[in-house]
Chain A
Amino acid sequence: HDARRRKRYALQGSRWKVKNLTYRIAKYPRLVEVLGRDRVDAEIDEAFAVWQGATDLTFTRKSTGKVHIEIRFENREHGDGDPFDGEGGTLAHAYFPVYGGDAHFDDDEKWTIKTYRGTNLFQVAAHEFGHSLGLSHSDVRDSLMAPFYRGYNPKFKLHSDDVIAIQSLYGKKTTPPPPPPRTPSPARPPNKFPITPAATSPSSGKENSKLCNDPKIDAITTMSDGNTYAFKGSEVYRLTDNGIFFGYPKKIFILFPGLPNDIDGAFTWSNDKTYFFKGSHYWRYTNMTMDASYPKSISDGFSGIPTNIDTAFVWGGNGKIYFFKGDQYWRFDPARTPPVSFGYPKPISNWNDIPNNLDAALKYSNGYTYFFKGNKYWRFNDRSFSIDTADPPFPRAVGSWWYGC
């Protein structure tokens, strides 16, 4: 680093000669019982996915045997001559490829997942794996490879400095061109999607085979971290712009402790909280942590709304909350008294050809509202208040457009 030089990334000088790398968590954090072993696995998966999203590298987690990158949570002196220093200070270190690529995390830190408290495991792990791949520290303060810890960021995305750095070692991502995106016709250019750190290529058969065989879902919502999650039975799928996020589906009880399976509906409100509905109750989550005093009865907070709904969503046209059930719908406006205006419920036929008995609905990050039923989906044109016209027309097959089938 030369003080007079423009700020940017730095390479250590070694890199992996293979592109398909394996890793194993050889020693879990002491807090693993609190965090959940599967959630630690998911967090480490997502940290590797950051680098997989920018290159043709692939990362496969193994639970036994020899791997390229071994991960350990250790404290103080732990056998490599580079002792940790207790809580704070040094959080972790990793070895460059020429030295083996392993990553060690200081187990005296209060590691946490998807919360502002403690030390965010994803953020530190994604940084350390940059070293495991051959990156040194960057002097671009906002880059992932800057040496200073920057705290939990629910809307994390790689800095361009990090992308240039990793691609200078392993090349750009050259996976086959994604299927036509589900974004609207050129008439309304799609919003710039946040760079999903995940592999943006359609997933391998494994992740999406269930959804491809039976695309019916229970609910779908975009959460405050900017990611879209589809819920089906006991599992949850994180969606990318073209398929299923690497390493999903995951069990609902692991990612959303306290949330039951087979939910009816979900929506994320402007307070950045996500509301899940099932039967006569609802649950409120901040990111993936259930808020205290939940679940509650639907009548306690959503008076006028029926039980056993089909779906719930925030309509892009007016920012109000809509509940659909059977052939009727209710509009819920928290700013009004009563929140459900006189004259509701109304017939779903008002929504011009949107079918009854829906499975799910969502206002997507491109601003459009989407309705899902069985193996089909519809995109709604809020301005004309009708199903959007496009080629191919709606309804479309949800598997190939949303789940990477």
Chain B
Amino acid sequence: APVHTDTGAMMYLSNFGWLDPSSKKIGSQSLIDIRKSIQDFQAFAGLNITGELDEETVETMSLPRCGVRDKIG
């Protein structure tokens, strides 16, 4: 799913280790968790830490990159 959609962004965060792995699927993540995951990713990528899927964050998620997870559990 394209990252500019919520589902796409959740997939991205999940693929690269930013969502709590204990959650079985994206839908079960509470809003607070997701907000926290977005903040963690924004801090890692050097973005403004808003907790929102703002334009800059979605743009960064669209960049070509390495497939290895950012956060190794």
Contacts and interface: CB of A to CB of B under 8 A. Distances in A.
Contacts, number: 69
Nearest to A94: B68
A147 B69 CA distance: 9
Given A3-B39, A3-B49, A139 B44 contact: yes
Contacts of B43: 1, 3, 139
Interface string A96-125: 000000000010000000000001000010
B46 A149 contact: no
Nearest to A82: B67
Contacts of B49: 3
Contact of A91 (B16, B44, B64): B64
Nearest to A93: B67
A106 B49 CA distance: 31
Contacts of A10: 72
B66 interface: yes
B70 interface: yes
Contacts of B64: 88-91, 119, 148-149
Which size class do A's interface residues fall under?
A: 20 to 34
A1 B70 contact: yes
A13 B73 CA distance: 11
Contacts of B31: none
26 contacts: A1-B40, A1-B44, A1-B70, A1-B71, A3-B39, A3-B44, A3-B49, A7-B46, A10-B72, A12-B72, A90-B67, A91-B64, A91-B66, A93-B67, A94-B68, A124-B66, A127-B66, A131-B66, A136-B68, A147-B65, A147-B66, A147-B68, A148-B45, A148-B60, A148-B65, A149-B63
